[in-house]
Structure 1
Amino acid sequence: MSEKDSQRHRQRRRRIIAFLLLFLFIILLVILIIFLALRPSKPAFVLQDVTVYAFNATVPNFLTSSLLVTICSRNPNDNIGVYYNRLEVYATHHSQQITHRTSLPPSYQGHNEVIIWSPLVYGTDVPVAPFIFSGLVQDQYRGNIFVTIKIDGRVRWKVGPFVSSRYHLYVRCRAFINVGTQRTGITVGDNAVKYQLDQRCDVSV
């Protein structure tokens, strides 16, 4: 191949690369414009109820708990779907995790669609900081339990055939449960009481 032919070949290759880069830039720009124009709204979460099977702070600085929670998620977007990935649910008390993490199955939520999950979050003899444990004992004695149900995970937005990159999802559902003699729950089995809450959750994406 002559030097002139080699130069033409390099120029042709540069044009092809430049064209591909320009085409890719235009596609990404169109996706970005569509995404910004649609303005995706974050999903709305509601903690519908909590069934308490166990909540015992009897051993010094250890807690055993078992809670069945019902969580409802609604996609408020008319033209954007939501992919949920690696969602994990657990309970905390005064910012300390008191149960193991329970994984939710990956799922897709269409436009204005509702998904309901009912995971069991539990922990056996979970170590609790002494100052938190003393508060738990007092709460049990008074018949009031305050826990926060948390969901950590990742979401992706779907606009037509395009799917966005992953975003972190943080959900915080506060639950105040009266378990004393004046409890407001309904007995659903041996030592199991269901509490209807319908508590809106804080959602960050």
Structure 2
Amino acid sequence: MHNFYRKAKFLLSCPSIKGCPEDAGYEVIFAGRSNAGKSSAINTLTEQKKLAKVSRTPGRTQHLVFFELDKDRRLVDLPGYGYAKVPDAVKQNWHRNMSEYFDNRKCMRAAILVMDCRHPLKPFDQMMLEWSITNKVPTNILLTKSDKLKKGAASSAKLAVMKATKDYPSISVQLFSSLKKEGVPELCSYLNKIFEVSNEG
């Protein structure tokens, strides 16, 4: 299967919703705690090692970063969150921007919520899920770093998250490993449906 997401290229980075591209087409956001492996997941999906910057200091990315797939389709890397060393003022600003983005951005079609499969559904993850549910945004939970767990433990982690979100039909859950490239076809397939891209690319 051809990987449409290889086409991704950096479009722009902005500190608030005011600098976002025109509110048209399709956007899928990637959100997750600072150390959940969000940038690695984007790089694995797009088969580009350096597309999303992987910071050694969690919480470093405080901008919305847009990657263009074609003139109508974009991936959006939201600022990593949930890291203790980020000052409160930055957290409040982040919270305000995210609320605004979820409430006002019409072209947002879905969210990929990235969680470390060893520590899923932390308070921040719950908050992101609530935003998604309130705004009726379909969400695919990506349980990253699945290679860090034995198969049985990884399956148990997935089942636990599925159970916790079972009342919400627009939420799906999958395992993912950037290291082993596991879960990439499922993620591509999910995104293809959202972006209305044929599986042939």
How does the TM-score come out when normalised to structure 2? 0.24
Larger Rg: 1
